Structure 1
């Protein structure tokens, strides 16, 4: 799909124009859309933030996940909301399935991959812990993302298609008590193709978690912020979201994660709500 510079008069007065704009940018809105941005294939203990814990050495985590998003409005260039269509019954629905495989190489390093169910995108990531001091942990993050889908109308670049992104960042964890903890991750990604620069992005995620049942049921919630700058001629975008959720741990081999992303504010992006569901299986 090819896209020209956004004319907001056109989008405000054309149902088709609004829908094209939404589809153009909303792939970035997918929870689990880390396939398209951020370091992927590494583990997390809560919802969206990458924590500083690691998969145990010589252990494999397998995680299928499903995301569903629903929107009837989008944020324009001023941050105001507009309907995605002049038809009140119209909505944008995005859904996708993903698979994550993460392996604990050592007590300080894990590596993994993240794949969409239709094989349109694949990501590889690594997490290395370089700080472990009392209740505070820190990891370095590095990843590469390949996508056969592109919102920029460019030709294929090689084996896995149209889009290559290099991402790096840090993940921090504070274990305040045996029940209460905080995870924060900050990342930067540079995306390109053979023609050169496509976009750069900054991502900040935070999750608070509290176990109401010791080691079993965790109530969690946090905020996610992303900012993307595209190549000349395309508008910048940003989004701030809130995501409440829960994790359920049954023994040491199975974890269920469920959360609801709710977009609070943004610019040139869709305004979504929905849910994400993941099942984490540990193979020793």
Structure 2
């Protein structure tokens, strides 16, 4: 067959069966997953980082999003080891629709000795509640200070009033006093393993009981259940330490969600952007209650 005759050949038309063609429908579970993925692309992320003060120590990270009911949902928690682990985890989880990152460690540190003005304010306000005294300078807080500067180079703004991605310093012991009540915070990571397990158990009870009715409330999720139900009796010291870090990171992520949803006007701000500050949630209850 030559080219001319070949080009004139047309495919035969399909026989009309008399039936109307219908489009293939996507199965409902698949479509729901697709919608959920599309929705997550537009949902802000709230990250909590329990940052070690020394590079050889491990850290913990937690990721929260806001659910359809307005509750804070723990999506995941992670054990983080190195400087690169920490920054890589943040880069992967910051999301596309804005991010608030709350760090349980000093970020802005300019004094070479002594402590920052905000450390003195913390002691003034929370010393009566047996919160550990903070004494931060460039000597003892060089690692978190380095991480803080790296985060700012990644585009995180340390100003809580800013638009876009923000990073704030928080202090979980003081946040416990405000969110959980009581005369003193639960101290994690101190003492023999048995005492630490008892502290983890009390902390888990408080974070579930007090934040379940907070604003935002903390929803039950598989990631959160895994923290609450992690087996303590059979855990060794390193496993307990990892759980402590993830729980601390979860509380920090809640502070980030609190700032993102209720705004900086609902938070306590001790210090300033030049010498350092600590941001804290002020109350677990909705405004007006």
TM-score by length of 1: 0.32
User: Which has the larger share of strand?
Assistant: 1
Greater Rg by CA: 2
Higher relative contact order (CA 8 A, sep 6+): 2
User: Which has the larger share of helix?
Assistant: 2
